[in-house]
């Protein structure tokens, strides 16, 4: 059991046309070749190599077991750190549509959702955005609340599908970032990620991280270092797949924006009830993620990760056309999620 989006994806993993998996797990030949030749299991060396990659001093980078753990650590830390000495709740802002564990994680950390005009302590977002796949060109575009936030958490899970540099190296002193080996490298099974803290947060977060986390397994450290050694070769395969699948997506659907991640949020001019359509598509053998999981029921998320994506997107287009022909119903404004049993899951 993880969270509703993950449960929806994993419960229906055997559907013939799976457009719900956002990662490349088990599909990269270059990764498999790399993992046969691990590097020395030196966590300090791994942290230094990652720090060079995101262009920050190594003391700012902290290893985790993935970006989800990194996000949770930062949210809990900020809830405690920013709340000291104040009786006012620490407040957060998350945009829509957005990856659900950012807002749900903030709630579990004890943060309170900010009002439109109220104080904001922590703003959280994914960049590129999950589920839209588009870039956050300016932090001010995230939400009017961004400029008022004391700290900004940016989940950069999909960033390395492009050459865009990490925001960790940018000039904004409020920014915290997280990254992972589970998406562009397809290395879910090694469970390695990282947090980059702003300079002002390094000392207190180092104490928090040291108390609250376990060390990364040596085998995972060795594998992660091997991936960085062969990074260019692995990225050529994963980025190449994204570009091929993006071309197939553009041939199948109109109005696809510039994507910097292997996800696309599909809305149609006629209107779309993402929940009902997601259930219909599932019955027709096509798995997508209803937008209500991301706070926006007006569309569905499609993932461009499968080696057979051109076949899958053709099936999706056929199903979508049949749905629009028979169901001219506009999207509901209610945030409801399709019913599903619990299972393990991923983004």
Q: Is the peptide bond before 97 cis (omega within 30 degrees of 0)?
A: yes
Mean pLDDT, to the nearest integer, of 53-81?
98
Tell me, yes or no, whether 281 and 195 share the same domain: no
pLDDT of residue 139: 66
- The answer on 272 and 221 residing in a single domain is no
Backbone φ and ψ for 258, nearest 5 degrees, come out as -65, 125
Ramachandran bin of 91, using left for φ above 0, alpha for ψ from -120 to 50, beta for the remaining angles: beta
What is the extent of the structural domain holding 10?
Answer: 4-22+232-326
Q: Evaluate if residue 57 carries a pLDDT over 60.
A: yes
pLDDT at residue 231 above 50?
Answer: yes
- Comparing 32-46, 79-93, 225-239, which segment has the lowest mean pLDDT? 79-93
The percent of residues in the chain predicted with pLDDT above 70, rounded, is 92
Instruction: Give yes or no: residues 151 and 216 share one domain.
Output: yes
pLDDT at 262: 98
For 208-239, the DSSP string reads: HHHHH-PPPPHHHHHHHHHHHHTHHHHHHHHH
Q: Which of 181, 186, 185 is nearest to 26 (CA)?
A: 186
pLDDT tens profile 322-345: 999 987 554 444 444 554 433 334
Bridge partners, residue 93, by sequence: 123
Q: In whole angstroms, give the CA distance from residue 336 to residue 279.
A: 13
Residue count of the chain, please give it: 347
- pLDDT for the residue 230: 98
Q: Is residue 321 part of a domain?
A: yes
Asked if residue 343 belongs to a domain, the reply is no
d(CA 52, CA 287): 39
**pLDDT at 47 > cutoff 90:** yes
Asked whether residue 281 carries a pLDDT value surpassing 90, the answer given is yes
Of the ranges 9-13, 17-21, 115-119, the best mean pLDDT one = 17-21
Asked if residue 336 is part of any domain, the answer here is no
Query: Mean pLDDT lowest for which of 33-47, 167-181, 193-207, 257-271?
Result: 257-271
In the chain, % of residues over pLDDT 90: 84
pLDDT greater than 50 at residue 260: yes
How far, CA to CA in Å, does 298 sit from each of 158, 254, 265? 23, 17, 9
pLDDT tens per residue across span 110-162: 999 998 778 899 999 999 999 999 998 766 666 556 778 999 999 999 999 99
CA dihedral 339, 343, 346, 347 (to 10 degrees): 10
Q: CA 153, CA 176: separation in Å to the nearest integer?
A: 5
pLDDT higher than 90, residue 2: no
> Of 77-91, 241-255, 293-307, which gets the smallest average pLDDT?
77-91
CATH number at residue 236: 3.90.1150.10
Q: Report the mean per-residue pLDDT for the chain.
A: 92
In terms of domains, do 252 and 162 share one?
Answer: no
- Based on the domain organization, do 37 and 17 belong to the same domain? no
CATH number, domain of 209, equals 3.40.640.10
How many CA atoms does the CB half-sphere of 249 hold within 13 Å? 26
Question: In the listed set 212, 229, 246, which residue is the last one of a domain according to the structure?
Answer: 229
Number of domains in the chain: 2
d(CA 267, CA 273): 9
Q: What is the mean pLDDT of residues 301-306?
A: 98
């Amino acid at each position: 059991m993880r969270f509703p989006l993950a449960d929806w994806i994993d419960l229906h993993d055997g559907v013939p046309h799976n457009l719900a998996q956002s990662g490349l797990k088990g599909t990269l030949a270059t990764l498999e070749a790399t993992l046969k030749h691990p590097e020395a299991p030196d966590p300090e060396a791994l942290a230094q190599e990652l720090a060079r990659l995101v262009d920050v001093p190594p003391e700012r980078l902290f290893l985790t077991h993935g970006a989800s753990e990194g996000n949770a650590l930062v949210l809990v830390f900020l809830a405690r750190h920013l709340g000291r000495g104040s009786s006012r709740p620490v407040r957060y802002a998350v945009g829509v549509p957005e990856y659900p564990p950012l807002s749900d994680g903030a709630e579990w950390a004890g943060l309170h959702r900010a009002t439109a005009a109220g104080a904001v302590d922590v703003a959280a977002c994914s960049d590129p955005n999950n589920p839209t796949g588009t870039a956050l060109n300016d932090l001010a575009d995230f939400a009017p609340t961004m400029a008022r936030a004391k700290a900004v958490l940016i989940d950069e899970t999909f960033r390395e599908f492009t050459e865009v540099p990490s925001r960790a190296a940018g000039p904004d002193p409020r920014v915290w970032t997280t990254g992972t080996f589970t998406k562009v490298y397809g290395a879910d099974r090694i469970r390695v990620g990282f947090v980059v803290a702003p300079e002002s947060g390094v000392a207190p977060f180092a104490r928090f991280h040291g108390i609250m986390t376990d060390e990364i397994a040596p085998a995972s450290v060795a594998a992660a270092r091997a991936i960085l050694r062969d990074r260019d070769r692995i990225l050529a395969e994963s980025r190449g797949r994204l570009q091929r699948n993006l071309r197939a997506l553009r041939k199948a659907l109109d109005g696809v924006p510039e994507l910097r991640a292997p996800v696309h949020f599909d809305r149609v001019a006629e209107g779309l009830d993402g929940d009902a359509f997601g259930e219909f598509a599932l019955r027709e053998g096509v798995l997508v993620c209803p937008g209500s999981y991301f706070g926006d029921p007006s569309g569905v998320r499609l993932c461009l990760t499968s080696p057979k994506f051109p076949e899958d997107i053709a099936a999706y287009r056929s199903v979508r056309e049949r749905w629009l022909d028979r169901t001219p119903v506009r999207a509901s404004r209610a945030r409801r999620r399709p019913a599903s049993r619990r299972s393990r899951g991923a983004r």
